[in-house]
């Protein structure tokens, strides 16, 4: 019946597959990369995934359901749309928890997310993207709509969070959809045209009917999330080369989602593999990946590759990013104590010259080089992505690139405690680094590449 089961939590049940199933377990469902059972955020941990870790990750993002598959992938969602599968099909143990069901091959074990904090507002992970001119053909651009006399922002975003990444409000009308060629989200207008005042988060938006307010829901745009290894061995070996701290991981995320193929690595980094970079475990010369990350700059290593995307970032920023990574991992920050220690000047002394020699060696020894400036990629993501995809000799539908643009950060951004205007560089350090900047800039220009972006100098 509908009674509350008081003692249930104490004795989890054993399912037919021999797994222990907590009371939040809903069942085993079919799932595949084209039609996801749960369409929200995805988290990976190929090392120690557990059911409760997945439930916690989904709860933090405001979702109702958490599903685990392949023993290691955690999918979140607010609606469960998949057909049931047999319970025994979810036969993979969680990587971090014996006797717990974490799905199977194209099978997902789904659990309810128990959020015990009553004040916790759902959909708090909805992002305001701006006010835009209404596209010519609204209904063709946004396939699903609903009109309500007292439409609120919350009602519209909740309505769209079933399966769409964008919620679109035009006065009392609500539309759901994706960024498309006809509606790229590139031309924002003034917020007041949509009836939104600065700093306000109004419940209703009653602006001009030629304009619409766009919110990004927690739903992932799945047009660019499927990735695989190359079916036939790559004819050419392409390096994705950079100095450490120049954003190599972020660019791999962009390339993988834009092309649909995994990237490889000259190294093996367990934390990156656990975050979903499957190519990390592949032998770098396997020819199954679209390009291979490397920080090497010896002549022999450079000439192993037929071509290279050379990623260059402002050395002041790259040195700080790499020092943060060395001290606190991919997503952490070094402490004040670290910046004040003798270790920091020693680090700058060694690494600043490496920043220059890495770029210079690749420019001089590389067979075919595409130079990408990190700062330009930030400014003009689509244009730079098109250049990289073209260099990799692939053609990718424009819609897929728009999807990548709306997921541009992935999970690889240091969050939160950004050191604003924090400057750990002494005048001596600056003099040295500026000298290296001039040398690299000169070499680029001499080889008919664009020079370094303006913001590198002067400091």
Quick: pLDDT tens for 365-386. Answer: 999 999 999 999 999 999 999 9
pLDDT at 177: 92
427-446 helix and 343-365 helix, angle to the nearest 10 degrees: 10
Q: How far apart are CA 196 and CA 171, in angstroms?
A: 11
Q: How far apart are CA 97 and CA 68, in angstroms?
A: 12
pTM: 0.76
Q: What is the pLDDT of residues 394-425, one digit of tens each?
A: 999 999 999 998 877 765 555 545 555 688 99
Q: How far apart are CA 105 and CA 90, in angstroms?
A: 8
Q: What is the mean pLDDT of residues 288-315?
A: 96
Q: Are 367 and 307 in contact (CB under 8 A)?
A: yes
Q: What is the DSSP string of 25-47?
A: EEEEEE--SSS-SS-S-EEE-TT
Q: What is the DSSP string of 317-361?
A: HHHHHHHHHHHH-TT----HHHHHSTHHHHHHHHHHHHHHHHHHH
**Contacts (Cβ under 8 Å, ≥6 apart) of 454:** none
Please name every residue paired with 265 in a beta bridge, in sequence order, or none if there are none: 293
Least confident interval from 195-209, 224-238, 248-262: 195-209
Secondary structure class of 194 (helix, strand, coil): helix
Q: Are 323 and 334 in contact (CB under 8 A)?
A: yes
Secondary structure class of 431 (helix, strand, coil): helix
Q: What is the pLDDT of residues 325-346, one digit of tens each?
A: 888 776 677 888 888 889 999 9
Instruction: Give the pLDDT band of residue 204 (cuts 50, 70, 90).
Output: confident
Mean pLDDT, the chain, rounded, equals: 85
Q: Are 217 and 166 in contact (CB under 8 A)?
A: yes
3-state helix, strand, coil in the chain (%, to 5): 35, 20, 45
Give, for 65, the enclosing helix (H) or strand (E).
Answer: strand 65-69
pLDDT at 419: 59
Q: How far apart are CA 101 and CA 21, in angstroms?
A: 7
Q: Does domain 238-412+424-456 have CATH number 3.40.50.300?
A: yes
Q: What is the pLDDT of residues 161-180, one digit of tens each?
A: 777 889 999 888 999 999 98
Q: Is the peptide bond preceding residue 452 cis, with omega within 30 degrees of 0?
A: no
Instruction: Tell me which residue has tokens 């008081």.
Output: 6
Instruction: Give the pLDDT band of residue 18 (cuts 50, 70, 90).
Output: low
The DSSP letter of residue 443 is: H
Q: What does the domain layout of the chain look like in residue ranges? A: 25-112, 127-216, 238-412+424-456
pLDDT at 233: 92
End-to-end CA distance of the chain: 71
Return the structure tokens found at 439: 């040398």
Q: How far apart are CA 221 and CA 22, in angstroms?
A: 31
The DSSP letter of residue 189 is: B
Provide the pairing of β-strand 97-101 with 127-133. unpaired
């Amino acid at each position: 019946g509908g009674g509350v089961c008081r003692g249930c939590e104490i004795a989890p049940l054993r399912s037919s597959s021999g797994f222990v199933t907590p009371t939040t377990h809903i069942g085993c469902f079919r799932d595949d990369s084209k039609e996801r059972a749960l369409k929200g955020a995805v988290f990976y941990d190929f090392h120690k995934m557990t059911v409760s870790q997945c439930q916690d990750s989904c709860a933090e993002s405001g979702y109702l359901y958490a599903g685990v598959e392949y023993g290691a992938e955690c999918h979140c969602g607010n609606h469960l749309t998949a057909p049931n599968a047999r319970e025994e099909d979810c036969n993979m143990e969680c990587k971090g928890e014996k006797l717990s069901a974490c799905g199977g091959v194209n099978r997902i074990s789904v659990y309810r997310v128990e959020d015990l904090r009553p004040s916790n507002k759902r959909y708090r992970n909805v992002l305001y993207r701006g006010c835009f001119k209404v596209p010519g053909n609204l209904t063709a651009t946004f396939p699903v709509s609903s009109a309500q006399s007292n439409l609120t922002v919350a009602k519209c975003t909740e309505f769209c969070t079933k399966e769409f990444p964008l919620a679109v409000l035009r006065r009392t009308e609500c539309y759901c959809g994706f960024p498309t060629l006809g509606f790229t989200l590139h031309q924002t207008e003034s917020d007041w045209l949509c009836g939104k005042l600065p700093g306000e988060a109004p419940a209703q938006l009653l602006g001009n009917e030629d304009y619409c307010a766009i919110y990004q829901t927690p739903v992932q745009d799945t047009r660019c999330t499927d990735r695989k290894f190359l079916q036939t061995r790559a004819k050419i070996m392409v390096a994705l080369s950079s100095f450490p701290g120049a954003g190599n991981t972020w660019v791999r995320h962009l390339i993988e989602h834009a092309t649909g193929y995994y990237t490889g690595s000259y190294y093996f980094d367990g934390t990156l593999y656990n975050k979903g970079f499957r190519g990390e475990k592949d032998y770098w010369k396997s020819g199954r990946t679209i390009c291979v990350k490397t920080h090497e700059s010896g002549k022999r290593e450079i000439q192993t590759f037929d071509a290279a995307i050379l990623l260059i970032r402002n050395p002041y920023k790259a040195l700080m990013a790499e020092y943060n990574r060395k001290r606190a991992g991919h997503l952490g920050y070094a402490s004040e104590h670290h910046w004040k220690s003798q270790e920091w000047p020693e680090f700058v002394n060694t690494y600043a010259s490496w920043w220059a020699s890495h770029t210079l060696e690749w420019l001089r020894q590389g067979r075919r080089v595409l130079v990408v400036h990190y700062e330009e990629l930030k400014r003009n993501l689509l244009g730079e992505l098109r250049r990289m995809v073209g260099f990799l000799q692939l053609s990718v539908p424009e819609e897929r690139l728009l999807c990548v643009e709306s997921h541009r950060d992935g999970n690889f951004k240091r969050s939160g405690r950004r050191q604003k205007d924090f400057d750990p560089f002494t005048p001596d350090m600056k003099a040295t680094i500026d000298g290296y900047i001039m040398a690299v800039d000169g070499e680029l220009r001499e080889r008919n590449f664009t020079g370094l972006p303006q913001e590198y100098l002067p400091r």
